[in-house]
Amino acid sequence: MQCTTIQVPRGRFNYRAQGAENAFPVIAIHGWPESSYCWEGVARYLDPHFRLIAPDLRGLGDSERTLEPSLYRKEELARDIIEIADALKIENFYCVGHDWGGVVAQEVALACPERVKKLVIMNIPVITNASGNREAREVINSWGGLPHWYQYFQQQPGLAEAMIKGNEEVWVSYFFGRAGRDGRIPKEAISEYIRCYKIEHTPLTGAYYYRTMRHDIARWELLAGKKFPMPTLYIYGEKDVVIIPEYLHHIEEVFHSIRVIRLQAEHFVQEERPEEVAKEMNEFFLS
């Protein structure tokens, strides 16, 4: 994929793109602690009818490291994506997101449902699915909240930026676990994420994704039960120890049309199974 830097009123963003200029646009949004590089594998198998455009989210990848925490609220990150689409003269598009990118994709879909013709999300809670999210939290709380330790850690003021700086390789590599160690996630991908995490202020801007969660969750409670109007595909790596199966309970109640595909993968499903993920995306987009 080819990298480009774009300056828009909200800031400076890097994005990767692959596919013909006149192909239908697919905006793919990465999660944490990744960058747009995570879509490289999927891009190799995406149908040529589509052009994949993958921005680096604010504070990650090679996009700008904004130090104003409120700009990491997830509806603000969605505004970044919409502004990038506007600058690229993209009116209608398919939107794809994994992890935090899946949250941002949902926010984009709610902000401009007339433009998002289809939605794909992977390994992330559905922000309007209050019932399923409540069930998942009850299970995680019964485990002492252990799967969410890294969220609690980064929410502590001053701690992440003090302790991660100089230890970026250990920090980033940890989250890819066995899938990273045995090569299911390419080593060059993890090296790229480490490089990006070593960019000044990234331990802080990465932590802002979690320090803004109190605002996000309060806002999502007001959206409980709201339905997504566009056809949606949920691709789930069912070996995920953080996004546990309970998060998927009741999701059919908050979509007008939803299909769930389960793959034998851990959290980073699009990197572990890029060909299978692209196959499901192609079939969904072409249907």
Domain boundaries, the chain: 2-286
* Secondary-structure class of domain 2-286 per CATH: alpha beta
Convert the pLDDT of each residue in 80-107 to its tens digit: 999 999 999 999 999 999 999 999 999 9
- Whether 241 contacts 213, CB under 8 Å: no
pTM of the model: 0.97
> Of 130-134, 177-181, 198-202, 278-282, which range is least confident?
177-181
**185 falls in which pLDDT band (50, 70, 90)?**
very high
With a CB cutoff of 8 Å and minimum separation 6, the contacts of 88 are 6, 25, 53
How many other C-beta atoms can be found within 10 angstroms of the C-beta atom of residue 141?
10
Mean pLDDT of 27-36: 99
